[in-house]
């Protein structure tokens, strides 16, 4: 009895131009293109192992030690697509083991809060799809595999690439041109850094999938955003990344985070992802930029209260000097910061 296994890790990506809204729920096709930066695997990541064996009786997923349902239509779509690519391989090469019909066991672990607005669905579905495509030894390109990850969770299609990534919304009805592409590799602008301020690790009360559906159905502001705001910003942000123009990149990133959260507030009933701590962080970053008379840091918030701060390595002291000074009495805080200390810092804002 042979057991085949494959393991992979996938990083989180944090959008600087947000995806929010689906034009096709089944295929997970977005109402706008988006851009993100993929974080280093040393920070936030998903680790997923998959195995398959003739004797397994059902597909199973264990996430962070608990069995989860695999019934959701989105997960089923991913499994179906991957199995049919494997089946095609087996048909073209009869010497290959016929594992496409065997059941799968998937074990996954996120090393950061799940469903808290830190893109767990992006790292999670990216890892799931990449692990199974490794298990099946699929020859498809990353862009092709990204289309399958997209059906699991839209943002997941961007986690298949490192560095600066665009998800082109495409216009085909079948989604064949809705895929992730690289804007620039990480090395192109390698002094870009991201700090995560964990304001709350709690599970959000409005999951991204349902939140964006309410917005699409009810927000007038959203219509303006997807028609008038995002298409222009998409081109401007790609140009800023290619030119390594931090001021433009940072200003667009902050404006787009604010625009996305404004459409959440304009939804009916309104959706609140930012809390008072998030708002304090927004104000603080603007104060830091004002103090130096230049944009040294940019905030962005996904569908949750946790902040991601983008800055250039050479400005680390400028950005964090303020925070050190403000929080020098916070326990565990010293002149070097780590994500744990940043968590302490963010919770100090709550007081
Ligand atoms: P987030 O802001 O963390 O992306 P979402 O609401 O978009 O939150 O998605 C959270 C959901 O993504 C989880 O409830 C779970 O269904 C799925 N998910 C998260 N991590 C994984 C993983 N490692 N493997 C499979 N699915 C995952
Ligand atoms: C605010 O990709 O989590 O993080 O496609 O329904 O799984 P589903 O949604 P998801 O939404 C991400 C929303 C966002 C912005 C972004 O990552 O672009
Ligand atoms: Co998500």
Tokens representing 213 are 């559906």
Q: Return the higher-pLDDT residue of 325 and 34.
A: 34
* Strand positions, DSSP E, the chain: 3-11, 13-17, 22-24, 29-30, 34-38, 45-53, 60-63, 66-68, 103-110, 163-168, 179-184, 192-197, 297-301, 307-312
The pTM assigned to this predicted structure is 0.92
Q: What is the mean pLDDT of the chain?
A: 91
Round to whole Å and give the CA distance between 162 and 185: 6
> What confidence tier does 234 reach under pLDDT thresholds 50, 70, 90?
very high
pLDDT tens track for 172-210: 999 999 999 999 999 999 999 988 888 888 899 999 999
Averaged over 249-260, what is the pLDDT?
98
For residue 39, give the DSSP letter.
P
Ligand 1 contact via 195 beta carbon (within 6 Å): no
Q: Which atom of ligand 1 is nearest to the CA of 302?
A: 2
Going by CA atoms, what residue is nearest to atom 10 of ligand 1? 115
Q: Give me the pLDDT at residue 326, please.
A: 60
At 333 the pLDDT is: 42
Euclidean distance between CA atoms 299 and 281, whole angstroms: 8
ipTM of the complex: 0.99
CB neighbour burial string for 315-343, b if at least 16 within 10 angstroms, e if fewer: bbebbbebbbeebeebeebeeebeeebbb
Kindly indicate the confidence band of residue 330, based on its pLDDT and cuts at 50, 70 and 90. Answer: very low
Predicted local distance difference test score (pLDDT) of residue 197: 83
With the most atoms of ligand 2 within 8 angstroms of its CB, the residue from 34, 72, 119 to mutate is 119
Tell whether ligand 2 has an atom less than 6 A from the beta carbon of residue 136: no
Q: Is the CB of 13 under 6 A from ligand 2?
A: no
Which pair of structure tokens corresponds to residue 339?
Answer: 């994500």
Determine which residue's CA is closest to atom 9 belonging to ligand 1.
Answer: 121
- pLDDT at residue 11 greater than cutoff 90: yes
CA-to-CA dists, residue 326 to 91, 288, 347, 348, angstroms: 64, 12, 13, 10
Give residues with Cβ within 8 angstroms of 235, minimum separation 6. none
For β-strands 45-53 and 22-24, DSSP reports them as unpaired
Residue 55 has pLDDT above 90, yes or no: yes
Which of 110, 121, 155, 207, when mutated, tests ligand 1's pocket best, judged by the most ligand atoms within 8 Å of its CB? 121
Give the pLDDT confidence score for residue 46 in this predicted structure. 96
Instruction: Give per-residue pLDDT as tens, 75-117.
Output: 999 999 999 999 999 999 999 999 999 999 999 999 988 998 8
When pLDDT is cut at 50, 70 and 90, the band that residue 332 belongs to is: very low
The 3-state DSSP class for residue 311 equals strand
Cα 9 to ligand 1 centroid, rounded to whole Å: 15
* Strand, coil or helix: 106: strand
């Amino acid at each position: 009895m042979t057991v085949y296994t494959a393991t992979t890790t996938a990083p989180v990506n944090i959008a600087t131009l947000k995806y929010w809204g689906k034009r096709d729920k089944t295929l997970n096709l977005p109402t706008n293109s988006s851009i993100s930066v993929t974080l280093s695997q040393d920070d936030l990541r998903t680790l997923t192992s998959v195995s398959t064996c003739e004797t397994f009786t059902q597909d199973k997923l264990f996430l962070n030690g608990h069995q989860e349902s695999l019934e959701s239509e989105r997960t089923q779509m991913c499994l179906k697509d991957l199995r049919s690519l494997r089946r095609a391989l087996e048909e073209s090469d009869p010497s290959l083991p016929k594992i496409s019909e065997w059941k799968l066991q998937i074990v996954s672990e996120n090393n950061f809060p799940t469903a808290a607005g830190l893109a767990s669905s992006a790292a999670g579905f990216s890892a799931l799809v990449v692990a199974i495509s490794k298990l099946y030894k699929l020859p498809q390109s990353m862009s092709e595999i990204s289309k399958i990850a997209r059906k699991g969770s839209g943002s997941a299609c961007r986690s298949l690439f490192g560095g600066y990534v665009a998800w082109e919304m495409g216009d085909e009805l079948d989604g064949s041109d809705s895929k992730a592409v690289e804007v620039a590799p990480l090395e192109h602008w390698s002094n870009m850094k991201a700090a995560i301020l964990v304001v709350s690790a709690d599970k959000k009360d409005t999951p991204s999938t349902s939140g964006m559906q309410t917005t699409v159905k009810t927000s007038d502001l959203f219509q303006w955003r997807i028609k008038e705001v995002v298409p222009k910003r998409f081109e401007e942000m790609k140009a800023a990344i290619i030119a390594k123009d931090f001021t433009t990149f940072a200003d667009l990133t902050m404006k787009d985070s604010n625009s996305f959260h404004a459409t959440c507030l304009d939804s009916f009933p309104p959706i609140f992802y930012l809390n008072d701590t998030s708002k304090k962080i927004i104000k603080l970053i603007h104060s830091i930029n004002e103090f130096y008379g230049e944009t040294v840091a940019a905030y962005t918030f996904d569908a949750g209260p946790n902040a991601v701060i983008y800055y250039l390595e050479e400005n680390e002291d400028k950005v964090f000097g303020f925070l050190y000074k403000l929080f020098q009495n916070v326990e565990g805080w010293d002149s070097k910061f780590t994500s744990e200390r940043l968590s302490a810092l963010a919770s100090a804002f709550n007081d």
